[in-house]
Amino acid sequence: MIISSLLITLTSSLAWQQADEREPVGRATAYRLDRIETLDGDALTNATVLVRDGVIERLGKAVVIPEHATIHDLRGTGSVMTPPLVLSHANFLQSDRRGGGNNSRFIAADSLWMNESWAEDLWQYGVGMVAIDPPGSGAPGRTSVLRVEPASKRPETLVDDLHLKLNMATNSSAKKLIREGIKAAEAAIENEVQAEKDWKKARKEWQEKQDAKKKADEEAKANGEEVEASDDEEKGPSETFEAPTIKDNEQAFVDWVRKERVAQVHMRSASDWLHWQQLMGEREESYEVVLSISSSTNLHEVIDDIVAGVRVDVPARMSFLPYTRNRINIASELVAAGCEKIVLSPSSNSSRGVSDFRLQISRLLAEGLDEAVALRAITLEPSLAIGQEEVMGTIAIGMPASFVIWSGDVFDPFTEVTSLVLDGEEKFNREQFELEQQR
Amino acid sequence: MKTIIHLFLALAFCANVTAQDSSYLAIVGGDIHTVTDGVIMKGVVLCKDSRILKIGKRVRIPEGAEVIDASGMQVYPGLIAADASGIVNGRGVDVADSYDPYKLNLDLALAGGITTIQNGGMVVKLKHGTIDNVLAGPTSWINLNYSSTSPAGRRRVREEFSKVRDYMRLHRGWKLTSSMGEDAGDEPEAKGVKEDYLALLKGEATARFSANSLKDLLATCELLEEYPMQSVIYGGQEAWACAGRLGRVNARLIITPRSKKWASDDLNRPSGWTIENANILWEHGVKFAILPGENSISLMGLAGRDLMTLPMEAAFAIRGGLQQDAALRAITIDAAEILGVDHRMGSLEVGKDANIIVCDGDLFHYRSFVQWAVVDGKLMYDKQKASYFAHIRPRAEEVIDEMEEVIDEMEEVTNIDAPEVVDNP
């Protein structure tokens, strides 16, 4: 006890010295925890995170805490810090559901309908960011990324217009839709290239004509002739190239074919994958796979082919092999087959699905899924999937201070969120929340 | 005893040198029912890629070929279901885009020996685990409604055919005149002539009728006598009663030997169903394919009358007097001919598609199982690996494999190497 107090005075005196060297700006908050799952190298035990101005300033076992800093000392309680959970393809906040066909002009964020408590509902389960899928079959639209913040109607989006969502199915209409989408996009690109060529040619011809005219005029002037200023000067092509407009429903496909957009391909069976492979053929557009598996699945048939570098989003649930009572853990099968990019999602597409998300994952762990893989699959991987790894996903120096503090092991179903911090601001606190619930 | 087992193992091992990457597949030691060229006892069928390369008693098997040991078994061409539903989805070319190669019904059809079906006007190969090259081509069938329940429909059909015939005569006359170098005027236009019907009379398409009763069959014969064309008649329950006439108009039938029908009182000639239907048609030279009562894989109702047991339906025709090789034709080469794919499948011949099944006994015996089904030269079904029937009378070789494992384990225990002794220098 004496030693530890001595240590604290020692560290605080050290902090004083350092504070002299660099001006302390803003409020500093220190979190001292039993374990920090950084997702950026090894986990730290008995470590400290120092947050200043919403950014993680220091991190480690021997962090110097400035004297004026607020200290949350949670050591000895089994506390664990992780990045917030990220849901990379939720569709529980959507108001309208579109039928089949190419509706790729729609943006998920445009049809959101939030209730008052949506943010708190997600915070209390440790969720800090969600990517919203446009619901519906065919090509229902593009995804949007939301920070979990309370808002009455439309919340602030981090990214409005992200992935192109495609529903792949073993039927001719689904394949036709994607095939025609690609064909139309290629035609639009070809059209633009041709238009630019035509413009360049027309511009060049016009320029030559103008130059010749100028020259003739100058010569005439030199010879003392009177030059008639022509009123009807020929109007040439515009100075800058104006690309022909692309149809609303073709734009997302064009971006995808140009490799400027990622497609999110939803599929549910092994044959869907084969048909998708046949559609893609030699193409190299980037895509990620979102599996929607039901109580039974035959995806094990193609699992070795799926893993070739593709990010796979798997619902957190056990399934049966078709027509048998043999259970299959698709997530761990993917890991065994060499897939490194796995995202786990709640198996139910409602905010309720989030409440037993960790319970479901704990079942996968009991059936052989690696715990480190599972943690990565609900924090960093979904962030990477939606390109927001700079916003949240790891706990590292210089990263925004967004994290969750759990009361114990993350995958213990009895563990609760003690506190959720986004950009250094505490958004959720279990004690306060429970007090409010009692009132 | 042990030496006998070892000898057995050595033999089994020789026949089981497998290599997955090889483009060769050999089925060795079985009795080969070629359908078109008799039976080769204890022969070899060698396939390369998707075709049959060689058939015979002395065929050299290339190194690394995948070998199926069919000793004591019967080898047949893959069976053909002239009409099927619920095994693949979609119609026409859409079948390729909605093909589910992991569907249970597809596996069960293969387990029943069927490797090719006709579904929605498209001839489709049944392949497990791949969606490549599954279509074998369209049937070019045109449905004609020529039933006694619709006299107006009949009249329309005859009127259309008469228009087509008039046009064809006109066109032939014009062609003849112009070929003699005389001025024949403009080519006559096919105005008001149905293209489908024209294709039928030109012999480019096949007319598909549905006729079970003698009345309907006779009316169909009459139409075919007036307008000769290729035809397929579905049903044909009372076909035996007009078999000679059906033979003369070259009609081809798709029959269900087990489907029963009362004799008709208002006819002054024999009618009704008979178990001898298939045999009588055969004796009159009428080509027919056999289909069970349900043209799907049925997991409900009574077993034995759907596509899971196609040979059982043909066996019933054998019971009615049909020769066994004729019954085999009715579910292989004759069905292929009716579908227009007999140049590619339906028999075991060099150059044909390698669609082959291996049975552990006579195809028409209720006890027999299909042990292996090969489609396009690739093993698509193995009874021992499919979970449905593997446990029923498991193959002997699997028992040998298990024994081999036990012996290996025993040898591992006894052959413990002594630690190496290094002399101290």
String of b and e for A175-186 (b: at least 16 CB within 10 Å)? bebbeebbebbe
Distances in whole angstroms, Cα of residue B406 to Cα of each of B10, B11, B391, B401, B402: 15, 18, 20, 9, 6
What is the residue-averaged pLDDT of chain B?
90
Q: How many domains does chain B divide into? A: 2
CATH 3.20.20.140 fits A85-175+245-393, yes or no: yes
Q: How many CA atoms lie within 13 A of A386 on its CB side?
A: 36
- Interval B312-333 mean pLDDT: 97
> What are the domain boundaries of chain A?
1-83+394-439, 85-175+245-393
pLDDT single digits (tens) B360-407 = 999 999 999 999 999 999 999 999 988 788 889 998 777 777 788 888
- E strand or H helix at A189, and its extent? helix A172-222
Chain A residue at shortest CA distance from B105: A323
CB–CB contact A324 B129 (8 Å): no
Q: Which residues of B touch A324 (CB under 8 A)?
A: 387
Q: How far apart are CA B220 and CA B290, in angstroms?
A: 20
- Domain residues for the domain of B129 are 79-138
CB A311 within 8 A of CB A343: yes
Does residue B193 share a domain with residue B85?
no
List the single residue in B99, B102, B387 with the smallest CB-CB distance to A301: B102
Q: What is the pLDDT of residues A128-154, one digit of tens each?
A: 999 998 888 889 999 999 888 886 566
In a domain, B87, yes or no: yes
Q: Cα separation of B177 and A190, whole Å?
A: 52
CA B51, CA B56: separation in Å to the nearest integer?
Answer: 15
Q: Best residue in A273, A274, A324 to probe B by mutation, most B CBs within 10 Å?
A: A274
Q: Based on the fold, state whether residues B93 and B205 are members of the same structural domain.
A: no
pLDDT tens digits, one per residue of B365-375: 999 999 999 99
Contact A137, A167 (CB under 8 A): yes
CA angle, A339 as apex, A335 and A340 as ends, to 5°? 95
Report DSSP state, residue B309: G
* pLDDT exceeds 50 at position A232: yes
Query: Cα–Cα distance between A156 and A316 in angstroms, integer?
Result: 28
Count of positions (residues) in chain B:
425
In angstroms, the CA A426 to CA B219 distance is: 87
DSSP string, B37-49: S-EEEEEEEEEET
Last residue of a domain, one of B138, B160, B181: B138
Dihedral over alpha carbons B102, B121, B48, B334 (to 10 degrees): 120
| Cβ neighbours of A359 (radius 10 Å) | 13
The mean pLDDT value for A45-56 works out to 94
Query: Which of A271, A298, A303, A328 should be substituted to probe chain B, the one whose Cβ sees the most B Cβ atoms within 10 Å?
Result: A271
Residue linked to tokens 């446990």: B391
Query: Helix, strand or coil for residue A175?
Result: helix
- pLDDT, residue A234, reads 65
Query: A142 near A89, Cβ under 8 Å?
Result: no
For B26, the enclosing helix (H) or strand (E) is strand B24-33
E-assigned strand segments in A212-370:
263-267, 287-291, 312-315, 319-320, 327-328, 342-345
Query: Is position B242 within any domain?
Result: yes
Chain B residues at the A interface, defined by Cβ less than 8 Å, are: 89-90, 94, 97-104, 129-132, 387
- For chain B, what is the radius of gyration of the CA atoms? 27
pLDDT class for B7, splitting at 50, 70, 90?
Answer: very low
Angle at A307 between CA A305 and CA A313, to 5 degrees: 120
Residues B145, B134 share a domain: no
Q: Would you call A301 and B104 a contact, using CB atoms and an 8 Å cutoff?
A: no
| pLDDT one-digit tens code per residue, B38-79 | 999 999 999 999 999 999 999 999 999 999 999 999 999 999
Residue A373: phi, psi to the nearest 5?
Answer: -65, -40
Q: Do B100 and A278 touch (CB under 8 A)?
A: no
The reply to whether A278 touches chain B by the CB within 8 Å rule is: yes
Q: How many residues does chain A have?
A: 439
Q: Is A323 in contact with B100 (Cβ distance < 8 A)?
A: no
Cβ distance of B102 and A171 shorter than 8 Å: no
- pTM, whole model, 2 decimals? 0.84
The mean per-residue pLDDT over the stretch B284-295 comes to 95
The confidence score (pLDDT) of residue B15 equals 41
* Residue B104: φ, ψ to 5°: -60, -45
Question: How near does any CA of chain A get to the CA of B127, in Å?
Answer: 12
Alpha-carbon distance of A392 to A380, in angstroms, equals: 8
Distance of CA B130 to the CA centre of its chain: 20
Judgement on whether residues B105 and B233 belong to the same structural domain of the protein: no
Q: Choose one of B295, B324, B339: the last residue of a domain.
A: B339
Mean pLDDT of A313-325: 88
Which of the four CATH numbers 1.10.240.10, 3.30.70.1140, 2.30.40.10, 1.10.287.130 does domain A1-83+394-439 have? Answer: 2.30.40.10
State the pLDDT at residue A403: 96
Query: How big is the CA angle at B38 (ends B116 and B56), to the nearest 5 degrees?
Result: 90
Same-domain check for residues B192 and B295? yes
Mean pLDDT of chain A: 87
Task: Indicate the SS3 state at residue B73.
Answer: coil
List the Cα angle B161/B141/B276 in 5-degree steps: 100
CB distance from A298 to chain B under 8 Å?
Answer: yes
Per-residue DSSP letter, A252: H
pLDDT of residue B327: 97
The 10 Å CB-count burial string (b at 16+, else e) for B29-63 is: bbbbbbbeeeebeebbbbbbebebbbbeeeeebee
Q: Is A168 on the interface with B (CB under 8 A)?
A: no
Give the separation between CA B254 and CA B81, rounded to whole angstroms.
Answer: 10
- Give the count of alpha carbons within 13 A of A88, CB side only: 35
Contact criterion met (CB below 8 Å) for A346 and A316: yes
pLDDT at B297 exceeding the cut of 60: yes
**pLDDT tens digit sequence for A182-220:** 999 999 999 999 999 999 999 899 889 888 988 988 888
Residues B191 and B245 in one domain: yes
Residue A110: per-residue pLDDT: 84
- φ, ψ for residue B32 (rounded to 5)? -95, 115
- Is B252 within a domain? yes
Q: Give the residue-averaged pLDDT of B284-309.
A: 93
Closest partner CB to A270 (pick from B97, B102, B132): B102
Q: What tokens does A272 get?
A: 């869907």
Distance CA B95, CA B110 (A): 18
Question: Which of A90-94, A168-172, B21-25 shows the lowest mean pLDDT across its residues?
Answer: A90-94
Chain B residue whose CA is closest to A298:
B102
A118-122, A319-323, B22-26, B115-119: which is most confident: B115-119
Element (H, E) at A10: helix A2-21
d(CA A206, CA A214): 12
A266 interfacial to chain B (CB closer than 8 Å): no
Detail the DSSP E strand segments found in A83-204. 85-90, 127-132, 141-142, 144-147, 157-159, 164-167
Q: Indicate the range of A91-105, A334-348, B168-182, B388-402 predicted with least confidence.
A: A91-105
* Spatial distance between the Cα atoms of A268 and A312, rounded to a whole number of angstroms: 12
Q: Is residue B307 part of a domain?
A: yes
Chain A hits for B128, CB-CB cut-off 8 Å, are none
